[in-house]
Structure 1
Amino acid sequence: MTKCVNIVKLSVGTDDVAGLAAWQDTRHAQSADGYPRHITRMWPKREAEILNGGSIYWVIKGVIQCRQPIIRLDEVIGEDGIRRCAIVSKPGLIRVAATPRRAFQGWRYLPADDAPEDLTAGQQDEEALPPELSRALADIGVR
């Protein structure tokens, strides 16, 4: 039986979850069928595990703040002829318990057991805390 694994990725240049959502609403950030996508240079070796219920967890301002279920991985050939991977996800961001994460290059695998929990349905509708406050609370273990 194939396990599930997630991907964790920095959302570079994003100040908050709303900013990531706004970026994903642009045509540049969407696949031909309108789903949000993120193009990366490396193709995941653990593709089957990712496509078995994995999500992309977004790090914003040093904190994992939200996730999106991954639908598929699309091949994209750039103008330079190099093969890349488009991580295509379901529209909409699911907020998760704020979890500090150090900066890193590219993306990393995130085992399902280590993934932050989703906020409750009631918390999803609350206004998000400022990233600095979220990080400070996460640093002291308050989620």
Structure 2
Amino acid sequence: MLNLIKLVVGVSSLEELAARQTLPENARTLPGHATPLPVVHTRSFPRRKDEILPGGSLYRVIGGLILCRQEILAIETSTRADGTSGTLFFLNPTLIRVQACPMRPFQGWRYLTAADSPPDLDSPDTARPSHPGTPRTDKADTLPLPLLRELALLGL
């Protein structure tokens, strides 16, 4: 399985990303789905589409940190308003928080292998219970973005 990673420009939080994805210009109806799904518009079509679908995710970089992922449900070509061709990534609306990981700016999207992808916050790999069977109690996902960035840079 292969994933993609892309910067989120002009967004400062996961809540703002979720709100932006509900706007009409950022949602489309995919055959087989009753409600519109969030889409990401991009210029390039991934040559390795068959490795991404099914099961691949789009990891999102906000403020220099990989903070979440969304499952990619479909990848389709589209025609942009200026007549040029583009690509739409249809996403599952659920934002899955991942362990914050620093990422330098880049343009477009990049491939991201499963081995290089940060783990989900609720995965067994990141859980650090005080007693066996106790759910994770830290609130890393509620920390301010600058603090999350500093902790990630320190490897914490």
Q: By the TM > 0.5 criterion, same fold?
A: yes
Contact (CA 8 Å) 2:64, 2:102: kept in 1 or not?
Answer: yes
For 2:141 and 2:51, how far apart are their aligned partners in 1?
Answer: 33
1:117 corresponds to which residue?
119
For 2:18 and 2:148, how far apart are their aligned partners in 1?
Answer: 18
Q: Secondary structure at the match of 1:79?
A: coil
What letter corresponds to residue 146 of structure 2 in structure 1? E
What letter corresponds to residue 21 of structure 1 in structure 2? A
1:6 aligns with 2:20: no
Cα-Cα RMSD: 1.8
**TM-score, normalising length from structure 2?**
0.84
1:79 corresponds to which residue?
81
1:57 aligns with 2:59: yes
Q: Which is further off, 24-33 or 49-58?
A: 24-33
1:30 corresponds to which residue?
27
**TM-score, normalising length from structure 1?**
0.91
CA 1:111–1:127: 2 relative to 1, 3 Å = closer
Q: Which is further off, 34-43 or 79-88?
A: 79-88
1:16 corresponds to which residue?
13
Q: Secondary structure at the match of 2:73?
A: strand
Residue 128 of structure 1: CA displacement?
Answer: 2.1
Q: Secondary structure at the match of 2:58?
A: strand
For 1:131 and 1:44, how far apart are their aligned partners in 2?
Answer: 30
2:126 corresponds to which residue?
none
1:129 corresponds to which residue?
143
For 1:127 and 1:55, how far apart are their aligned partners in 2?
Answer: 19
Q: Which has the larger radius of gyration?
A: 2
CA 1:138–1:127: 2 relative to 1, 3 Å = closer
Listed as ranges, the gaps of 5+ residues in structure 2 are 31-35, 124-135
Listed as ranges, the gaps of 5+ residues in structure 1 are none
Contact (CA 8 Å) 2:54, 2:73: kept in 1 or not?
Answer: no
Q: Secondary structure at the match of 2:25?
A: helix
If asked which structure has higher relative contact order (CA below 8 Å, sep 6+), I would say 1
Q: Which is further off, 21-30 or 72-81?
A: 72-81
What letter corresponds to residue 51 of structure 1 in structure 2? L
What letter corresponds to residue 44 of structure 1 in structure 2? P
Residue 78 of structure 1: CA displacement?
Answer: 1.2
Residue 127 of structure 1: CA displacement?
Answer: 5.3
For 1:52 and 1:127, how far apart are their aligned partners in 2?
Answer: 27
